[in-house]
Amino acid sequence: MPPTTHEIEPFPPELMARLRTCRHLLVLTGAGVSQESGIPTFRDALSGLWDRFDPAQLATSDAFDADPALVWGWYAWRRSQVLRCEPNPAHWAIAALADRVPRLTLVTQNVDGLHQRAGSPDVLELHGSLHRPYCRDCGYPHAPSPSDPPCDVALEGAPLPPPRCEQCNGPIRPGVVWFGEALPRDVWNAAETAANTCDLVLVVGTSALVYPAAELPLTALARGTAVVQINPDRTDLDDLATFRLRGTAARILPELVQQGWPEVV
């Protein structure tokens, strides 16, 4: 069956039937979901001091080794932005879906923690988290202490020396997956298992360009599992998805929940 492109409600009856009878729903989210909370994507133009830097050049272990204060300051600035943003209707709708299907696996490429703040439990964070820094040398997790620079300092966009590890005195690094680093093995294994066992996939706000995350819907499609793409723009998944819902996640997802379970909403 050719993909169905849908731009206005109500949604296709076949899609709604699949959603209501789904036993295991896999949801894969990308930067487009967080962008609607006011968080710029990795590819957006920067501002202030940071507009002189290429984010890709700061997101490497080599960059951290060469200038820890510059890299830590960049990520502290990003985290300060995130903490001033709130989950949007897409985050809340995904959390609501978890109460309506027998099993939901949420896999995200985002590092902002907004899914958790909206109430989604057990989020599989493929690229780590801005909120879980750890020691570069021994891997010990770092909890903020009174000696850490306040978040307001980061807002000024200045480089900041990273805190030191309380176990080995090594430098604390951001808890994100940098270019050239492997994804967390346990997280990736769980995501792959979900792609191989689910009976419906929602791909939300992602360009489907970043691998290995982009493999997950392809794995599901190869098994004959229906894949629903939710995105305002065309992506590489357009010609393969079972259904294409053209629009922002914050508009489409709450409507999916409302139409899927009108007696609950």
Cα–Cα dist 200/217, whole Å: 10
- Answer yes or no: is 224 a known binding residue: no
Q: For the chain, what is the domain count? A: 2
> Residue 172 gets which letter from DSSP?
E
Whether 92 and 31 map to the same domain: the answer is: yes
Residue 104 maps to which CATH number?
Answer: 3.40.50.1220
Whether 113 and 159 map to the same domain: the answer is: no
Cα–Cα dist 83/126, whole Å: 20
- Answer yes or no: is 78 a known binding residue: yes
Residue 122, helix vs strand vs coil: coil
Angle at 41 between CA 207 and CA 254, to 5 degrees: 70
Residue 149, helix vs strand vs coil: coil
> Which of residues 113, 146, 173 is at a domain's end?
173
Whether 27 and 72 map to the same domain: the answer is: no
Structure tokens at 84: 């001033």
- Answer yes or no: is 88 a known binding residue: no
- Answer yes or no: is 68 a known binding residue: no
Tens place of pLDDT for every residue, the chain, 265 residues?
345 454 446 799 999 999 999 999 999 999 999 988 988 765 554 544 446 667 778 899 999 999 999 999 888 888 888 888 999 999 999 999 999 999 999 999 999 999 999 999 999 999 999 999 999 999 999 987 655 655 555 555 578 899 999 999 999 999 999 999 999 999 999 999 999 999 999 999 998 778 899 999 999 999 999 999 999 999 999 999 999 999 999 999 999 999 998 876 5
Residue 56 maps to which CATH number?
Answer: 3.30.1600.10
For residue 167, how many C-alpha atoms fall within 13 Å in the half-sphere facing its CB?
11
- Answer yes or no: is 198 a known binding residue: no
Catalytic positions, please?
A: 127
**What range does the domain containing 113 cover?**
1-38+87-127+182-265
Cα–Cα dist 114/85, whole Å: 9
Q: Is the pTM of this model over 0.85?
A: yes
